[in-house]
Amino acid sequence: MGSAPPQTTPQATTQGGTQAVDRAAALVDLVVRADDPVSFTTLSDLTGLARSTTSRLLAALERTDLVERDPSGGYVAGPLFALHAALHDPWPQVARIAQPVLLELAARTGETVHLGVARGQEVVHVGQIDSTYLLSARDWNQVDVPAHCSSLGKVLYAYGVLPLPTGRLERRTERTVTSREALAAELATIRRTRYAATVDELETGLTAIAAPVEGRDGVICAIGVSGPTARLSDRVDHVGRLLVEQSDALSALLGRPSRHVSAPDGTRPQSTTKEGAA
Amino acid sequence: MGSAPPQTTPQATTQGGTQAVDRAAALVDLVVRADDPVSFTTLSDLTGLARSTTSRLLAALERTDLVERDPSGGYVAGPLFALHAALHDPWPQVARIAQPVLLELAARTGETVHLGVARGQEVVHVGQIDSTYLLSARDWNQVDVPAHCSSLGKVLYAYGVLPLPTGRLERRTERTVTSREALAAELATIRRTRYAATVDELETGLTAIAAPVEGRDGVICAIGVSGPTARLSDRVDHVGRLLVEQSDALSALLGRPSRHVSAPDGTRPQSTTKEGAA
DNA sequence: AAGTCCGTTCCACATGATGAAACACCCGAC
DNA sequence: GTCGGGTGTTTCATCATGTGGAACGGACTT
C-alpha cells in the first residue's frame, strides 16, 4: 500500500498503528472545519490520498453517519454531528473552544476572566478563569447581573445581541449609568473602540472591561476581565486593546468570516436578537 | 485478523472494504449517542472488539479529536464535536433530527406540520412540511406570530419555555384569548392533555394543534399541525393524541430521559426559561 | 463523436491491522 | 506489605485488510 516513498507521505506517518483510521479522521476533520461543503477532489488533494482510497474512506464515513453528502455532491458533517448539536447546549461547547483564549487573558492580566452570553434579557456567564490574586471577583457563573452595569452586558447591548432595556435602569452605585441617553451614547463609543468598561458601576471598587466575540453571523458573546478598580483603573485602555486582540483570535476560531476590508467603524445594522450559537 | 468465525463477528462484516474505519466509527457512534461518559470496557463489550483493538482505535480517535477522555477516564465526544456545535445554530440540527417525525405527521394528517421554538418572547418556526392540499397554511418559517394565539406558543407557555406575556394580549380575531386568566386556565388544561389547540384564534378559519417536545432537561420546542378549521375542527382531539404520540417519539430521539414511572398528570415544577438546545 | 473531468470499482500485492497473551497499573482487602 | 481482581496498554507473529494503479463508467464540453 504505502508504496510511495518520496512525496505521497506528507504527514508524520509513523503514528501508533492505525493508518486507515487516521486518514479517515483527517477527512472528517477537514469536512467539519470547512465553512462550506467540500468536494471530493479537494479532500483527495488536501489529504494527499489516492482517489480510490479517498472514495473508499468517504463511503465508509458516510455509511456510518460521520459525513454526509450535500445535494450538490459536496461533503458536510454528518447526522452524528447534528445529533450531538441537538442534544447539547452550545454554550458550554463555545466555552471549551474559548478556554485557551481565556487562559491567555488570565495569564496576561492576572485578573478574573469571563465569557458571557445573552439569555433572554440578561447576561449569563458560561465560562470563567479565576484570578490568582486573593482579592478578586467571585464565581459569577450562573449569576445574573443587570446588563447595563456589566461590561459584558454593555457590549452585548452595543452589538444588538441583547435587546435594549425598556424599563427603569437600576441604580447599583452612584456611578451606575441610569439614563437611557447616557447608555445609548456609551454604546456608540463601545462600537467605535470595540470594548466596554464599567468602573464602580456595578459595585464600588469593581472594574470590568469586555469585548465582543463574533461567530459566522456577527457578535454572539463577549469576553471580559474584572477585578479591583485599584488594580485596573489606570490600565483600562491597555486591557481593552488586549481584549480586542484576543477576541479577534477567538472570533477566528468560531467561524467569523475573515475580515473583509477592515470596517472603519464597527457599526453594523443592529441585527435582531440572536439566540443559538453562531 | 478477523479469525473469529463463530461469535466475534456480530454485525454485517462484509461491508465495502473498510473494517478499521467501520469499527472506529462504531465507537464514535456509541460515545456520541451515550448520555454519559462511556468506559473503555463498555465500549469493548458493546462493539465486541478485542481489548487491544479497542485500545488502539480509541487512541487514534483521541489523537484526532473525535473522542476525548473525561477527567474520570470515560470517553466523551471530542473537540471536533464541540467545534461543530459552537459553529452552527442548534435549531436547524434539531429540525433535521425531527424531519422523519414531521413527515410522518404530514402523511397521517395531510396538513401542514411545524416545528417551533422560543426565541426571546416569541415563537419562531424552524421546520415545516407543507400540506398537500391546495388550501393550506403558508410558509411560516421565520415568521413571528403572537404566541398567545398560536398553538405552538401556548404549548411553550404551558411548559415554561416561553416567559408568560406581561403586556396586553393582542386581539387577532373575535375568538382570540385576550384575558390573562383565561389563558392561564387554558395552560393548565394543556399541561393535562399534553396538547394545545387554537381554533380561529389567530385568523378566522385557521386551526392549529400542537404538542411539546422534550430534550434532556425538559421541554425544548413544540410540534404542531395547522390547516383550515373546516378540515380540522371535528378531529382536534384525534390529531392532538397523534401529536402527543409523535412528539414522544421525537423526545426519545432528542435525549429525554426515559419516562420514569409515567407521571399521572404532566404538570411539572414550571422550570425557568430555557434557551439553547436541550 | 471524440475529448475532459470526476468519481467508483477491480484486483494483485504487501503493509498495516489484528487478537492472544504478557505486561503494567491502580485499588481495596487483609 | 502483598496478595488478588479488574482495567487498560504493549508486544508480536500472522495474515486478512487496506492499498494504489489502472480500468471503467458518467456527465458535461468541444
pLDDT digit string (tens) for B61-113? 999 999 999 888 899 999 999 999 999 999 999 999 999 999 999 999 999 99
Identify the bridge partners of residue B112 per DSSP, sorted by sequence position.
B226
* pLDDT at residue B187, as a whole number: 96
Q: Give the C-alpha separation, A1 to B100, whole Å.
A: 42
Q: Give the C-alpha separation, B169 to B172, whole Å.
A: 9
Question: B66 contacts in A (CB within 8 Å)?
Answer: 25, 28
What integer is the mean pLDDT of A180-201?
95
What is the band of A190 on the pLDDT scale with cuts at 50, 70, 90?
A: very high
- Give the nearest partner residue to A86 out of B26, B77, B278, using CB atoms: B278
Contact A169, A176 (CB under 8 A): yes
For residue B213, report the phi and psi dihedrals to the nearest 5 degrees: -120, 135
Q: Residue A272 burial (CB < 10 Å; 0-12/13-18/19+)?
A: exposed
Could you tell me which chain B residue has the CA closest to the CA of A276?
B89
Contact B203, B172 (CB under 8 A): yes
- Give the nearest partner residue to B273 out of A83, A87, A120, using CB atoms: A120
Of the listed ranges A133-137, A249-253, B48-52, B130-134, the one predicted with least confidence = A133-137
Question: A257 contacts in B (CB within 8 Å)?
Answer: none
**Which nucleotides on chain C have any atom < 7 A from a protein Cβ?**
6-11, 13-22
B264 touches strand C (CB under 7 A): no
Give the pLDDT confidence of B132-188 residue by residue, as tens digits: 776 666 666 666 678 998 999 999 999 999 999 888 888 988 899 999 999 999 999
Could you tell me which chain A residue has the CA closest to the CA of B18?
A60
What integer is the mean pLDDT of B187-212?
95
* pLDDT at residue A103, as a whole number: 95
A2 touches strand D (CB under 7 A): yes
Which of B188-193's residues contact partners 24+ apart within 8 Å by CB, and which partners?
A: B188/B158, B190/B154, B190/B155, B190/B158, B191/B158, B191/B159, B191/B265, B191/B266, B191/B267, B191/B268, B192/B265, B192/B266, B192/B267, B193/B240
Q: Do residue B16 and residue A120 have CB atoms under 8 angstroms apart?
A: no
Q: Give the C-alpha separation, B217 to B210, whole Å.
A: 20
Question: B254 contacts in A (CB within 8 Å)?
Answer: 86-87
pTM of the model: 0.83
Å from the B70 CA to the C28 C1': 23
Question: A88 contacts in B (CB within 8 Å)?
Answer: 85, 277-278
Could you tell me which chain B residue has the CA closest to the CA of A59?
B16
What is the band of B31 on the pLDDT scale with cuts at 50, 70, 90?
A: very high
What integer is the mean pLDDT of A238-247?
96
Contact B227, B136 (CB under 8 A): yes
Contact A233, A271 (CB under 8 A): no
What one-character-per-residue DSSP string does A243-278 give? HHHHHHHHHHHTTPPP-SS--SS-----PPP--S--
- Give the nearest partner residue to B20 out of A21, A84, A119, using CB atoms: A21
